[in-house]
Structure 1
Amino acid sequence: MRIRPLAVDVLIAGVLTTVAVLLGQESVKQGWIELDPVGYLLVALVSLPVAARSKAPLAVLLVVDLAWFGYVTAGYWPVVGTFGPMLCVYTIAALRPPRTSLACAALMAALWIYAGAITEGSSMPSVVGQAVGFSLVLWRFGYVARRSAELARQLKREQDERARREVAEERGRIARELHDVVAHHMSVISVQAGLATFVFGSDPATARAALGTIAGTSGEALEELRRMLRVLRAEDAEHDDGTPAAPMPGLSRLDEMVERVRGGGVPVELRVTGTPRPLAPGVELCAYRVVQEALTNVLKHARGAAATVELAYRRRHIEVSVTNDGEGVIQDRVRTGSGHGLIGMRERAKLYGGAISIGPLSEGGFAVRLTLPTSAQAAARGDDATE
């Protein structure tokens, strides 16, 4: 059960008042006048208003200090009325700026010194030391509480902002993955469906081949979508039947992608140089997706063009390029900066410390060139130049 702050303040006010009344009954033994009804009323005015200290701290402090001034002036034992003013100074220091709280602490110290000045036989050095010491200690405690609360609020804001950024980044990553999966496979399916419809009556064999490509491509798209859903649901890396989940696509599957695009009517040549070697899954997926997006753009916007995919394994990095001899829409999209796929390629390259260039060729056509470091050390050194 959560206790409300007002209920806590009311309880504190009741405790302070009870302690003050009990202490006031010792006044005669300490050489002060006995508390009478007026004295008890002033004790109540010094202690009870602290119940509202969180709602109106300055007003409560002024009322309490004024009641304490009257209590001391009437000749009652000053110690009995110190609890309320001391709590008010702490509260002001915890809730208000230092300039305001220091003034309130100085007011309490002045009243403390006034009480010592009108009391016969008081040791003023001791009184002044107590007045200043207690006021500064209470102010410091309140100030530290205020700073701690401010730092806690700032930390909460930073954590919320970090959480929002992480959510936004995750949404962007999911959007890129969905775009890569859906756009590429649907482009192949669209082309093959159009081909099958066109030759359905005149060339049944070609139509059957196109339908077979559609079946294979749609099955692969569904498998990648299922893989993404398993990741989003934070499931174990196994299917419900206990079989391991299929690995994320990598460079070893480039030939499959090239075959699909060829089936869509685009002549594609794949060239691999250097010695193939295992790479970090993220690096392989990044390179795979960039090639996938580049070929998808050829399918969608330069269907009559021929394309070449080149993969070069270097000592500390890999180089991937996709070129075509087509013209038109892709170049226009680069110049205008449109296209989620082009943005996604740049974001992927940046994420893995690579460099990417996207643009038309001087001799005609279009090229996407990606350089990716194959280790964290290479990325930190910037080893992305051709060796």
Structure 2
Amino acid sequence: MRLRPFTVDVLLALGQVALLLLIGPEAAAVGWDDLDARGYALALLVIAPTVVRTKAPLAVCLVTYAFWATYVAVGYWPVVTSFGPIICLYTVALQCRTRTVGFCAGLIAAIWILGSLVSQDHASVPSVAAQAIGINAMVWRMGYLARRSAELARKTRAEQHERARHAVVEERGRIARELHDVVAHHMSVISVQAGLAKFVFDSDAKTARAALGTISGTSTEALEEMRRMLRVLRAREDDGEVPDAPMPGLARIEDMTDRVRAGGVPVEFRVTGTPRPIAPGVELCAYRVVQEALTNVLKHARHASATVELHYHRDHIEVSVTDNGEGVIPDRVRSGGGHGLIGMRERAKLYGGTISIGPRSAGGFAVRLTLPTSARAAPPGDDVTE
């Protein structure tokens, strides 16, 4: 159970009262005046302000020192009431600036030395002074370290909160990119095929049925990918659940080109080099970039033909999507303001790849992606070119 600061202060004050009652009667045995009613009253005045020490540390410290100096000057035993002033010095060191702490430490040392002078045992002054300096320096240091620890703890909590917030933002961005890639591509194909089916519904039943078949297959695949994403999001790390549907990869690029071809855009797919296993994240990155590039062809260069090329190299792969459209590429695509193009860049950066997006000199548009064959952190420097 954690106690409130005020409760702790009250308990410390009661502890000082108990100490006063316990060792106060021993004053005469060590050569000091007996504590009479005035002595006990002054002692209680020294103790009382410490109840609110955390609310006004400097003010409480000065008031406590004033009462303690009076108590000592009258000739009473300082040890009986020394605990309260030491607590006040610690509190000031915990909450105030170094200059203020030094001033308070000097005051308490002076009162300590005053007690040895009042006792008329001048031979003990050097010893008392050394004790005052040593003990108060130790209390000062403890308060300083506690303050630094508290500041570090606050900074650590703030950093943890910021990291958690950043992780949430990144995860939201990842989910948004996945949703965009799944929905935009499949809906583009479905929209094109639906328009085609509507156009030829009465005149060409065979073409209409083919378009409806493409719509059915595309919508089924979109639902499968959405379900896979939801299973990933719902799965807990400790329950060992793994989505049963595989993540899209390089092997499914050909199916995607067939789907786009059915949508009315001639697409040629070529593979060079020797296919081999690639890190799943890299495969997904390449798949999504091709998906987004073909989606843009469907949206903005419907009368063009496209070429998708996949090159396997020794330590990296290259994927390119080019079209020969005279294409109307909206300003947002040219300037890189579209969410899809932002997603391409983020994916390439995440897997340490490079990507080039822009119009071709011979006409049309091109997207070229280079990825290492194993996932790694993005290297420093620019990784995206236009």
Equivalent positions of 1:188-337 (< 5 A) are: 188-235=189-236, 245-330=244-329, 332-337=331-336
Deviation at residue 334 of structure 1 after TM alignment? 3.3
Which amino acid is the alignment partner of residue 221 of structure 1?
Answer: A
Q: Which moved more, 1:121-130 or 1:184-193?
A: 121-130
Give 1:377 shift: 7.3
Aligned to 1:47: 47
Which residue of 2 is the match for residue 371 of structure 1? 370
* % identity of equivalent residues: 68
Give the partner amino acid of 2:292: E
The alpha-carbon distance between structure 1 residues 78 and 336, as it changes in their structure 2 partners (threshold 3 A), is: same
| Cα offsets for 1:251-280 (capped at 9, x unmatched) | 001110001001111000000000000100
Could you report, residue by residue, the CA deviation over 1:104-152 in whole angstroms, capped at 9, with x for unpaired residues? 1111111111111222124111011011111101101111100000111
How far is the alpha carbon of 1:357 from its aligned partner? 0.3
Number of the residue aligned with 2:164? 163
Q: Which amino acid aligns with 2:137?
A: L
**Structure-2-length-normalised TM-score:** 0.94
Tell me if the contact between 1:193 and 1:210 (Cα under 8 Å) persists in the aligned partners: yes
Residue in structure 1 matched with residue 12 of structure 2 by the alignment: 12
Report SS of the residue matched to 1:320: strand
What is the distance in 2 between the residues matched to 1:115 and 1:195? 103
The CA distance in 2 between the partners of 1:51 and 1:329, in whole Å, is 77
Between 196-205 and 115-124, report the one with greater CA deviation: 115-124
Describe how 1:65-144 pairs up with structure 2 within 5 A.
65-122=65-122, 123-144=124-145
Residue 73 to residue 107, structure 1, CA distance change in 2 (3 Å): same
Please list the CA deviations of residues 132-176 of structure 1 after superposition, one character each: whole Å capped at 9, or x if unmatched.
111101101111100000111111111111111111111111000
Q: Which amino acid aligns with 1:191?
A: V
* Shift, 1:381, TM fit: 11
1:175 — aligned with what?
176
Residue 23 of structure 1: how far off its partner (Å): 1.4
Matched AA of 2:83: F
The superposition leaves residues 73-106 of structure 1 with CA deviations (integer Å, 9 ceiling, x where unpaired) of 1111111121111111111111112221121111
**In structure 1, how many angstroms separate the alpha carbons of the residues matched to 2:139 and 2:376?**
54
CA distance in 1, matches of 2:131, 2:23: 19
Alignment of 1:353-368 (within 5 A): 353-368=352-367
Query: In 1, Cα distance between the equivalents of 2:380 and 2:88?
Result: 60
Residues 110-119 or 324-333, more deviating: 324-333
The count of residues paired between Structure 1 and Structure 2 equals: 379
Does structure 2 conserve the Cα–Cα contact (< 8 Å) formed by 1:46 and 1:64? yes
Matched residue type, 1:332: D
Shift of 1:179: 0.3
Q: In structure 1, how many angstroms separate the alpha carbons of the residues matched to 2:32 and 2:337? A: 88
Indicate if the aligned counterparts of 1:293 and 1:341 stay in contact, CA closer than 8 A.
Answer: yes
Q: Name the CA shift for 1:87/1:172 in 2 (closer, same or farther; >3 Å).
A: same
Cα pair distance change 1:378/1:70, threshold 3 Å: closer
Gaps of 5+ in 1: none
Residues 46-92 of structure 1: CA deviation (Å, up to 9, x unaligned): 11211101101111111110111110111111111211111111111
Structure 2 contact 281–375 (Cα < 8 Å) conserved: no
> In structure 2, what is the Cα distance between the partners aligned to 1:44 and 1:128?
26
1:18: how far off? 1.5
Asked if the contact 2:352–2:376 (Cα under 8 Å) also holds between the matched residues in 1, the reply is no
| Number of the residue aligned with 2:146 | 145
CA distance in structure 1 between the aligned counterparts of 2:314 and 2:328, rounded to whole angstroms: 36
Rounded Cα–Cα distance in structure 1 between residues aligned with 2:256 and 2:240:
24
Per-residue CA deviation, residues 293-333 of structure 1 (Å, 9 max, x unaligned), is 00000001111110000000000000000000113443633
Q: TM-score, normalised by structure 1?
A: 0.94
Question: Per-residue displacement from partner, 1:327-353 (whole Å, max 9, x unpaired)?
Answer: 344363333332100110011001000
- CA gap 1:250/1:157 in 2 versus in 1, 3 angstroms: same
- Cα separation, 1, equivalents of 2:120 and 2:181: 90
Find runs of 4+ consecutive structure 1 residues off by over 3 angstroms: 235-239, 376-382
Q: Is the 8 A contact 1:273 1:311 kept in 2?
A: yes
| Higher alpha-carbon deviation: 171-180 or 335-344 | 335-344
Deviation at 1:238, TM superposition (A): 5.8
CA deviations on 1:343-378 (whole Å, 9 max, x unpaired) are 100110010000000000111110000000113579
Tell me how large the CA RMSD over aligned residues is: 1.8
Q: Flag the 1:377–1:159 CA change in 2: closer, same or farther, 3 A.
A: closer
SS of aligned partner of 1:356: strand
SS of 2:310's equivalent in the other structure is strand
